[in-house]
Chains A and B, each alone.
Chain A
Amino acid sequence: MEVTISIPTALRPQVDNKDTVKVTGSSVREALGALTAQYPELGKRLYAGENELNRFINVYVNDEDIRFMDNLDTALKEGDEVSIIPAIAGG
């Protein structure tokens, strides 16, 4: 299924300066896999290990953190919005 991934400013140089990229995938893992296959430089920044996201990056599906769902195995449906957002301080 087709989903939209929104890309934060810091990562846009790696995706031809686009703010969103459409990919297909039935899980977050597949969608991000499709994204990084298309843009390998992005993959280096997104992942810390093969199955582990960089810990300073949070991924949301329709505004919910994937760590509250099934992490990279979180299922996606047609039209879902996946957001990649850097961790931010505050309080």
Chain B
Amino acid sequence: MSYVSCLRCKECGAEYPIEPRTVCDHDFGPVEVAYDYEAMRGKVTRQSIEAGPRSIWRYRDLLPVASEPRVGLNSGYTPLIKADNLAAELGVRELYIKDDSTNYPTFSYKDRVVAVALMKAIEFGFDTVGCASTGNLAHSVAAHAAKAGLTAFVMIPHDLEEGKIIGSQVFSPRMVKIRGNYDDVNRLCSQIADKYGWAIVNVNLRPYYTEGAKTHGFEIAEQLGWKLPQHTVVPVAGGTILPKIWKAYQEFITLGIVEDNKPKMYAAQAAGCNPVVTAIEENSDLFRPQKPQTIAKSIAIGNPADGYYVIKVVRESGGYGASATDSEIIDAIKLLARTEGIFTEPAGGTTLAAAIKLIQQGRIPRDESICVCITGNGLKTIEVMHGQFAAAPVINAKLSEFDVIVDEIKEKAAAATATAGV
């Protein structure tokens, strides 16, 4: 059964039926899916969730679908890694990586939100779905639409990384590149949704799409053994996922599934696009939009629609924010790869770099549990790593030539030991 009651405006509380809807008619505030938590009591439990499939749909009772899931049957349930090597390097006691770089089918957190949005598109009877995207969302919409037999229309900024473009094109969506940044693409998409009546996942399916982001938070709690990390560091682009991880934590608390340990939420942004972190640092409720200038293109949104809610949640939870420069982002990508064997995209580098800063500043205590949310995969953005590594030696297929390389490695190690001994 479904526990969904209605759509409700986050600002004025006006209620609407479950329908394609972008914003509240009264004040343009975002509308959010409301549930009957009372009816869930005693029915939605650790046991009922554990009995579900190993995908986002194990949390189906807390998602806004009315029918049997047909999209994203393998999305979600990504690993929560206990990052002991990285923890030792950073001098913290308990560190986890929630690794959506392995999400199915397109290796980013977007597979969660798109699965829910496309389920709703099918339930509402749409045959064409679309999105405005910095790459990952387009990738996911195109793949899920291919599997679901829907037509996909994806709109992206003209200058994305090749992996993000090919990664979408392979699924044969209609792709339009738009001269401008993401905010320009988004503005156009809002007008397209208005004019053509298509299901644009982040426009008129937004209330359902954003609910899918909660599953990232549900999984963190379940995989941690039904408890919440004390500190959660989350990348901020449009501002969807951070408030939704928070909502997931609060829903589990409301239902008595986890204990309320007063979790704190932290926002991570690139220094070249940090309207939300700037507002947090300036103790302001409102952010000023920016023109993005960063290698972290997947989170380069200068005018984040839900930025206001990120600021609110971060503040209410007692968390904070930090920004990372391009070189700090690259260093963090390398650090995560070297210590934990995870290759993330610049958004993930941004999140780890911000977490490191917050730890160094003493805002995140070293002896409490920390979760860093990694939302995308480094293989889609290899351009940013060009020139970062020494060239590999090239030899003929002769053992003697290989011996020379091994001897050189030994000599270097011996020299390093000698220097260290002095």
Contacts and interface: CB of A to CB of B under 8 A. Distances in A.
A85 B289 CA distance: 15
Contacts of B134: 91
Given A89-B202, A91-B133, 13 more contacts: A45-B26, A45-B27, A54-B28, A55-B308, A56-B27, A60-B187, A83-B187, A85-B187, A87-B305, A88-B132, A88-B187, A89-B30, A91-B299
Interface string A47-91: 000000011111010010101100000000000000101111111
Contacts of B162: none
B289 A88 contact: no
A43 interface: no
B270 interface: no
B29 interface: yes
A72 B184 CA distance: 20
B190 A86 contact: yes
A87 to B, nearest CB: 4
Given A55-B286, A67-B288, A89 B210 contact: yes
Q: Which residue, A56, A85, A91, has most C-beta atoms of chain B within 10 A?
A: A91
B136 interface: yes
Interface in B1-53: 11, 22-23, 25-30
B183 A65 contact: yes
A10 B240 contact: no
A25 interface: no
Contacts of A58: 187, 303
Contacts of A67: 288-289
Interface of A: 8-10, 13, 45, 54-58, 60, 63, 65, 67-68, 83, 85-91
A86 B187 CA distance: 9
B47 to A, nearest CB: 34
B301 A90 contact: yes
A87 B287 CA distance: 13
A49 B239 CA distance: 25
Interface string B344-357: 00000000000000
A56 B238 contact: no
A88 B189 contact: yes
Contacts of B303: 58, 65, 87
Nearest to B298: A91
17 contacts: A8-B191, A13-B25, A56-B11, A56-B30, A56-B305, A65-B289, A65-B303, A85-B191, A86-B22, A88-B206, A89-B305, A90-B189, A90-B202, A90-B240, A91-B110, A91-B134, A91-B299
